[in-house]
Amino acid sequence: MADLHDLTALDQAAAIARGELTSAELVEHYLARVAAFGDTVGAFVTVTADRARAEAAALDAAPTDARGPLHGVPTAIKDLTMTAGVRTTFGSAAFADYVPPVDADVVGYLRAAGTVSLGKTTTSELGASCHAESLVAPPARNPWALGNTAGGSSGGAAAAVAAGLVAVAQGSDGGGSVRIPAAICGLVGYKPSRGVVSGGPLGFAGFGLPTHGALARTVTDAAAFLDAMAVPTVGEPYLAPPAPGGGYLGAARTAAPGPLRIGRFTAPMLVDTPVDPACVAAVDAAAAALSDAGHHVEDVAAPLTPDMWPLFETIWYVLSLAPVPPEKEPALLPLTRYLRARGGTVSASQLMGVLAQLQTRVRQGLAPLAGYDVLLSPVLAVPQAEIGWFTSAGEPADDFDRQRRFSPYCAIFNVTGQPSVTVPTGATTDGLPVGVLLSGRYGDDARLLAAAAQLERLAGRVDRHPAIWTDAPSATVNGV
């Protein structure tokens, strides 16, 4: 018999709607797995077991006409996302005891959709790196290979979904922070178009680069989660593109995007670095499958080149300048202090000039690609990295350089605001996941989700899981 965590999030919601399952049963099942395996994979900073049980009981008692589309489904919220009354550390010892007084908009919208949060998932400090190894929680590990990182900054969310601790989780993506962990852990990671999901209540931040997204086992689960988050919000600085008829889930369920013109490239952007053959092979296999499905796939030049790195570098330094009380600065990690020190030297006029140059260069790079519906590329230049590899070079500058060489593809689509999704399609020679990146036109999330769902079916990797997936919690979990 299948375990409850074998069910997708949509399967769980449907079973609850039919009266075959309760939210309380799901929450207890997942809490047992979190207690047994959460620290093993470094998924959670804070587990809110009692709160989750109370919310599940209330949801089970709610009348049918008061139930949301994901009614009773357990999830988790990234520790970078404010959650009222729940410790939210932003991945930093400097905020180890911080409890926000308000929810981020997205937290309230997910609650209104009927989801139940089991707690806060591990993130990198202030979301500043692509590995989630902080001082406030165990490092986020890839459930497929526990010696490897789960990536960042949404590494804990990816570890939780891949290990069967929740079916779907919230993440955020300012330069690949949803898509990188998803690729490493064999998941779907969806970054929507700018403006689709509210970034409030903090308002404008990060020059429009960051957005909330979803990490899930299937494209349809990610789309359903996006429907729950994509609530028009007054005061947002970016106008949301029109939502598709039938919602994002409806688009994903078709898995039929229509004939597409797809531009394929594997050359890394922003840095001249070798690309692992497994990453290239995954793109080649995806291109062949999409071509066989009737789409026109052709090679194109990468829209950006390594000489643009100084522009991105400057912006990343400035993005690290989140407000931190001066007396807490010594508690920050060396990498964070390094980035903030560099960011502090950037003047307002210099920043404005860099932003203008970057937008100009991005527009120039994308102009030749305007006729393509989807761009296909690797997610990463290397499919996996060991825990501690980024910091092992010793100097924060070397850590930062290793990160850009590891992930030279994702960040451009944060600058442009285009939707972008990781789809697991391949594997390394030792069986670890490899994903590809599909990126669509701005506002064309529906077509991108349909294309991702089609590729997911063609790749046939949905039912593959790491060994920890079938492990059962010990009878002595929590001392029972």
φ/ψ of 191, rounded to 5, equals -105, 110
Give me the catalytic one of 23, 134, 177, 193. 177
Nearest-10 Cα torsion for 444, 447, 452, 456: 170
Is 134 in the active site? no
- Give the per-residue SS3 of 250-281: HHHHHCCCCCCEEEECCCCCCCCCCCCHHHHH
Q: Is 286:376 a contact under the CB 8 Å cutoff? A: yes
3-class SS of residue 249: helix
Q: Are 269 and 304 in contact (CB under 8 A)?
A: yes
- Spacing of C-alpha 288 from chain mean position: 26
Tell me how crowded residue 378 is: count the other CB atoms within 10 A of its CB. Answer: 29
Beta bridge partners of 438: 376, 421
| Torsion angle in degrees (nearest 10) through CA of 405, 407, 412, 417 | -160
Nearest CA to 184 among 448, 459, 381? Answer: 381
Q: What stretches of 390-432 show up as alpha helix (H) in DSSP? A: 396-406, 412-416
User: Choosing from 23, 153, 420, 439, which is the catalytic residue?
Assistant: 153
User: What is the b/e burial string over 184-197, where b = at least 16 CB atoms within 10 angstroms of the residue's CB?
Assistant: bbbbbbbbbbbbbb
What contacts 268, CB < 8 A, 6 or more positions away?
275, 302, 306, 378, 381, 408, 409
For the record, the structure tokens of 297 come out as: 């796939």
Tokens (6 digits) for 28: 């207890």
Query: Residues 76, 9: contact at Cβ < 8 Å?
Result: no
Q: Which residue in the list 78, 117, 134, 420 is annotated as catalytic?
A: 78
Query: Do the beta carbons of residue 369 and residue 425 sit within 8 Å?
Result: no
Strand order in the sheet with 261-264: 168-173, 211-216, 188-191, 420-427, 433-440, 374-378, 261-264, 296-299
Cα separation of 282 and 346, whole Å? 39
| 191 catalytic per annotation | no
User: Cα–Cα distance between 288 and 296 in angstroms, integer?
Assistant: 10
* 158 contacts 394 by C-beta, under 8 angstroms: no
Tokens of 88: 């939210």
Q: Which residues are catalytic?
A: 78, 153, 177
